[in-house]
Amino acid sequence: MISLFHNALRFPEKIGILDHLGEHTYGKLWERSAQVANHLLQEKGDLNQARIAFLVDPGFAFVATQWAIWRAGGIAVPLCLSYPLPSLAYVIEDSQASCLIVDRNHDKVLDSYAKEKGLPLLLLDDIPLRQGKSSLPTLSLDRGALILYTSGTTSLPKGVLSTHATLESQIRTLIHAWEWTEKDHTLCLLPLHHVHGLINIVSCALCAGATLEFLHPFEANQVFDIFLKGNLSVFMAVPTIYFKLISEFDSYSETRKNALRTSMKRMRLMVSGSAALPQSVMERWQQVSGHYLLERYGMTEIGMAISNPYRGKRRAGYIGMPLPGVEVRLVNEQNQDILPGEAGEIQVKGPSVFAKYWQKPDATKKSFTQDGWFKTGDIACIERGYYKILGRDSVDIIKSGGYKLSALEIEEVLRKHPQVIDCAVVGIADEEWGEKVAAGIVSSELNSISEIKEWLKSQLPSYKIPKLIRILEELPRNAMGKVVKNEVKKYFSETLN
């Protein structure tokens, strides 16, 4: 039996999930997932790794659906709730889904599409509550389990296929590293079509036998209301959420602030990931909550590979050290190990690495070295034993005037300016420089671009100072809060014309 399911049998009477509909025990989750699995199977004995795409709100129904697909022998393909129909259609068609499952909040989104394509569309709410047949297929760990799609910030998203063995490795690594237990209580605010929400929070909590609470949609004030109840022990979010929570916190009375500080200090762990955490946000959140956020590094393809320690020194701006059971190395452009102090591409090997890109053998082959290392495309260096991300080779490493510049480093400096709310630094193609450094800045108070350029002269060497600067109302982001830098580049098209 898949390890993730064990606790449904170990703790049948324990509250496993809390959502807008109330409390749900592990036993109820096990029972409902069996009902949905039987409905999916009909007269079949096994789905035999058929892909089942589903569009369901976060909560008990989502987890029961995902478990049902697995228990019936299928591969789960969770869909993004915020995607427009063309983006949903891309995932459904690329994964070759044989069936769609929706809840009542989303049946209209895919109804016409499903009819046009001749795809079965199952309304989750209409699946009978009766048990029906109880013989479900036996699952081997080498079966395909999950297809998640890359964020597609630089190209069309690719389907990342993970087996049950891959997921078990990812989950058990984090349970051990972050010391999850059945006594934990966590809150999920994140989308469930990405590793951060689905694996790091949902799957780790349920595999540990913890209590998992959902809040959907995100409301900063409601998050703090939940904090005040004093039940949470673990909290994970992306930098943009921490930024919004800080803004909300600053609007409160001193009485509410003090009550929140007390409740947050009782939690044992707070984690930030999925995007670079500005040091200014790290420092401000520590003032707000008393927690020095744990930063870590991972990808859809590898789960989590590197993490600051749960017990031990955490360093702001660093992603930490390789997790147990995960092999990590840094290599140069010739795929050779770098010398100490140099920057190189992060490559990863181990049981937590994905099986393949769905239906893309060439992309899969290009992503691995001949000796089996996955090429992440992220550039890092090691300082005092801790890995530090410098950026993605294709996006965050700017080659300008013979220098290789880290966009993340320049962004961190820009955020220190008192009038800069947020920023994104990109490279713009240029005949003279190769690439010009350009910065999109979000600011409501900045008087002039020349003012910030003058200030930067005291902060950075001249070759790192952005030659192009635009003031933006907001930065373009994907569903996980990552800035889509190819979209940022478009803001500079007028500047170049």
Indicate the domain borders of the chain: 397-496
Closest CA to 63 of 232, 214, 209: 214
Order the strands of the 434-442 sheet from edge to edge. 422-430, 434-442, 468-472
Laid out side by side, the sheet with 356-357 consists of 121-123, 99-102, 51-55, 75-78, 144-149, 159-163, 356-357
- What is the arithmetic mean of pLDDT over 126-153? 84
User: Greater confidence, 290 or 443?
Assistant: 290
Q: What is the rounded average pLDDT for all residues in the chain?
A: 92
Question: In the numeric block, which tokens belong to residue 393?
Answer: 């080779």
- More confident: 450 or 115: 115
| pLDDT score for 396 | 82
pLDDT of residue 497: 41
pLDDT tens digits for 407-428?
Answer: 888 998 898 898 898 999 999 9
Q: In the predicted model, is pLDDT for residue 153 greater than 60?
A: no
Which residues pair with residue 426 across a beta bridge?
A: 438
Q: pLDDT tens-digit profile of 374-417?
A: 999 999 999 999 999 987 777 788 888 767 788 888 998 898 89
The Cα–Cα gap between 322 and 297 comes to 9
Sequence-ordered list of residues with C-beta below 8 angstroms from that of 184, at least 6 positions apart, any chain: 205, 208, 210, 211, 233, 234, 268
Taking alpha carbons only, the member of 162, 205, 170 closest to residue 324 is 170
Which pLDDT score, from 0 to 100, does residue 461 have? 81
Say which range, 130-139, 272-281, 336-345, has the weakest mean pLDDT.
130-139
d(CA 307, CA 349): 16
Asked if residue 496 has pLDDT above 60, the reply is no
- Whether residue 78 is predicted with pLDDT greater than 50 in this model: the reply is yes
Q: Could you give the CA distance from residue 8 to residue 280 in angstroms, rounded to a whole number? A: 41
Phi and psi based region of residue 118 (left: phi greater than 0; alpha: psi -120 to 50; beta: remaining): left
Instruction: Give yes or no for residue 132 having a pLDDT over 70.
Output: no
Sheet holding 327-331, edge to edge: 327-331, 344-349, 374-383, 386-392
Contact call for residues 12 and 25 (beta carbons, < 8 A): yes
What confidence tier does 354 reach under pLDDT thresholds 50, 70, 90?
Answer: very high
Other Cβ atoms less than 10 A from the Cβ of 220: the count is: 16
What's the pLDDT score for residue 279? Answer: 84
- What integer is the mean pLDDT of 63-70? 98
Determine the Cα–Cα distance for residues 143 and 2; give it in Å rounded to an integer: 11
Contact in structure between 419 and 435 (CB atoms under 8 Å): no
Q: Report whether pLDDT(481) > 80.
A: no
Q: How confident is the model at residue 152 (pLDDT cuts 50, 70, 90)?
A: low
Top CATH class of 397-496 equals alpha beta
Nearest to residue 296, comparing CAs of 215, 206, 199? Answer: 199
Range with the poorest average pLDDT among 151-160, 207-216, 367-376: 151-160
Beta-bridge partner residues of 378:
392
Q: Is the pLDDT of residue 141 over 50?
A: yes
